[in-house]
């Protein structure tokens, strides 16, 4: 009997000890969310993505696992929970990401699944081509006009262009894969509507096709004139006059003598004889803007203009005032400048106010050479300055000016040592 009582007492004591050692069970799972990246994010191929997660648990988080496309790729046991994913060459593809957190009782929970997209670098197409020259719907465009445009790419990818040009509203392709933003269509027909568009391609097989633009060429006679150097200039009949449509770039007088080409600022400021220079002393400007001449070259008896042509007159004491005749024909000085300026902003600074070039004169803003000792160049793209052959006194001569932000025609007297552009008119 005594043995039985001892046995029962032992069992009772063991039950008490067992109950004292029993702890409350943990059935609460942790929580976990992905804090970066956001769902539906886009990344370029090769990007390293720092995937981060926030996990919490009432008893403490043991670990966080990272899964990409259903495969565990990493485990992190310390905050902040993060996995740096090198995406490598997984381009043009969608991928799923989720995380899974565990606590010390092996309870677990998963985050929401997010999706990200990996794209090839330069995956965006080029921006649409803009700033056409001739401007869209321009009239009286030169039959010798070139086409110009601008285009950019959001990824700064190199671009090439297909050019479509012709007389139909759906113009045919005339150039393929060119890198330049200009095209020479050759000599155009008069009184003709031309249509054109540009298709831009990047180096990732993306492309953008621009709007169809149009312009109309001159109504009226055009021709050419050749100077002593063999330079050929387009000409246009405006009223009863025939004008050069391009700035003079001759380097010899009509008798064949060389016109001094002065590049030194001091020489330019000190001379009282005929001379010319090129804007910024950069020969490439001469092809478009012609040369800049002082007035002494205009007045030289050896002749600056081609045979049968002259530098236009402009003062109130001449009955045959060439510039005034042109302005009167175009409707007066308030509107004449706009009718004379080349359209668009390829050569003129924006906004090129009022420019229609409906006269066909195609004035270009060649800037000027200062007469001061510094002899600086200035305002290409801003002003078109043209000498007349008429002087005011021993120091000054008459010049005309057109502005980028104005449609008026202006005349000024300026010191004869300035370097300005020249247009010639037929005798």
Higher-confidence position of 145 and 171 = 171
- In terms of average pLDDT, the best of 2-6, 232-236, 277-281 is 277-281
Torsion of CA 84, 90, 94, 96, to 10 degrees: -30
Which class would CATH give 130-217? mainly beta
326-352 per-residue burial string, b: 16 or more CB within 10 A, e: under 16: bbeebeebebbbbbbbbbbbbbbeeeb
> pLDDT of 130-153, one tens digit each?
999 888 998 777 777 889 999 999
Q: Mutual orientation of helices 333-340 and 322-329 as an angle, nearest 10°?
A: 90
SS3 state at 259: coil
Give the mean pLDDT of 6-34. 68
pLDDT at residue number 343: 87
Cβ atoms 258, 228 nearer than 8 A: no
Whether the per-residue pLDDT at 22 is higher than 50: the answer is: no
* Six-digit token string for 56: 């919490």
Strand partners for 384: 402
Whether the per-residue pLDDT at 18 is higher than 60: the answer is: no
How far is residue 196's CA from residue 183's CA, in Å, rounded to a whole number?
A: 11
Q: Looking at the chain, which residues constitute the CATH 2.60.40.10 domain(s)?
A: 31-119, 130-217
> pLDDT of 183-200, one tens digit each?
999 888 888 999 999 999
- DSSP string covering 59-123, please? S-EEEEEEEETTEEEEEE-SSSEEEEEE-TT--SEEEEEEEEEEETT--EEEPPPEEEEEE-TT-
Q: How confident is the model at residue 239 (pLDDT cuts 50, 70, 90)?
A: confident
> pLDDT of 373-412, one tens digit each?
667 899 999 999 999 999 889 999 999 999 999 999 999 8
Mention every residue, 6+ apart, whose C-beta is less than 8 A from residue 172: 164, 165, 166
CA atoms within 13 A on the CB side of 66: 21
Higher-confidence position of 277 and 47 = 277
Whose tokens are 């943990």? That residue is 26
Which class would CATH give 31-119? mainly beta
Q: Which of 25-39, 55-69, 216-230, 252-266 has the lowest mean pLDDT?
A: 216-230
């Amino acid at each position: 009997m005594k043995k039985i009582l001892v046995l029962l007492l032992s069992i009772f004591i063991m039950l008490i000890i067992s109950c004292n050692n029993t702890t409350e069970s943990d059935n609460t799972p942790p929580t976990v969310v992905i804090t970066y990246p956001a769902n539906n994010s886009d990344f370029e191929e090769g990007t390293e993505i720092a995937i981060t997660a926030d996990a919490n648990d009432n008893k403490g988080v043991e670990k966080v696992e990272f899964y990409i496309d259903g495969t565990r790729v990493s485990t992190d046991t310390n905050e902040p929970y993060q996995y740096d994913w090198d995406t490598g060459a997984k381009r043009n593809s969608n991928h799923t990401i989720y995380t899974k957190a565990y606590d010390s009782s092996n309870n677990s929970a998963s985050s929401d699944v997010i999706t990200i997209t990996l794209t090839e670098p330069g995956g965006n197409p080029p921006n649409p081509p803009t700033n056409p020259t001739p401007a869209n719907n321009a009239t009286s465009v030169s039959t010798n006009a070139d086409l110009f445009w601008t285009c950019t790419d959001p990824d700064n990818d190199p671009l090439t262009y297909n050019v479509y040009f012709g007389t139909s509203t759906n113009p045919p392709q005339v150039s393929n894969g060119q890198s330049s933003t200009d095209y020479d269509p050759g000599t155009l027909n008069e009184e003709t509507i031309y249509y054109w568009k540009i298709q831009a391609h990047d180096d990732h097989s993306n492309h953008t096709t621009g709007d169809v633009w149009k312009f109309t060429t001159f109504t009226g006679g055009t021709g050419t004139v050749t100077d002593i150097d063999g330079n050929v200039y387009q000409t246009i009949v405006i009223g009863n006059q025939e004008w050069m449509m391009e700035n003079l770039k001759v380097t010899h007088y009509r008798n064949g003598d060389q016109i001094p080409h002065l590049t030194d600022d001091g020489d330019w400021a000190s001379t009282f004889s005929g001379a010319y220079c090129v804007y910024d002393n950069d020969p490439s400007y001469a092809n478009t803007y012609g040369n800049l001449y002082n007035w002494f070259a205009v007045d030289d008896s050896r002749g600056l203009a081609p045979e049968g042509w002259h530098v236009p007159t402009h003062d109130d004491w001449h009955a045959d005032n060439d510039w005034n005749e042109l302005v009167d024909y175009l409707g007066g000085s308030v509107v004449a400048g706009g009718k004379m300026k080349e359209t668009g902003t390829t050569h003129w600074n924006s906004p090129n106010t009022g420019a229609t070039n409906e006269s066909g004169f195609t004035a270009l803003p060649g800037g000027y050479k200062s007469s001061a000792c510094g002899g600086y160049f200035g305002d290409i793209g801003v002003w078109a300055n043209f000498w007349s052959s008429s002087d005011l006194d021993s120091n000054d001569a008459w010049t005309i000016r057109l502005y980028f932000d104005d449609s008026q025609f202006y005349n000024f007297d300026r010191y004869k040592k300035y370097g300005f552009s020249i247009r010639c008119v037929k005798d």
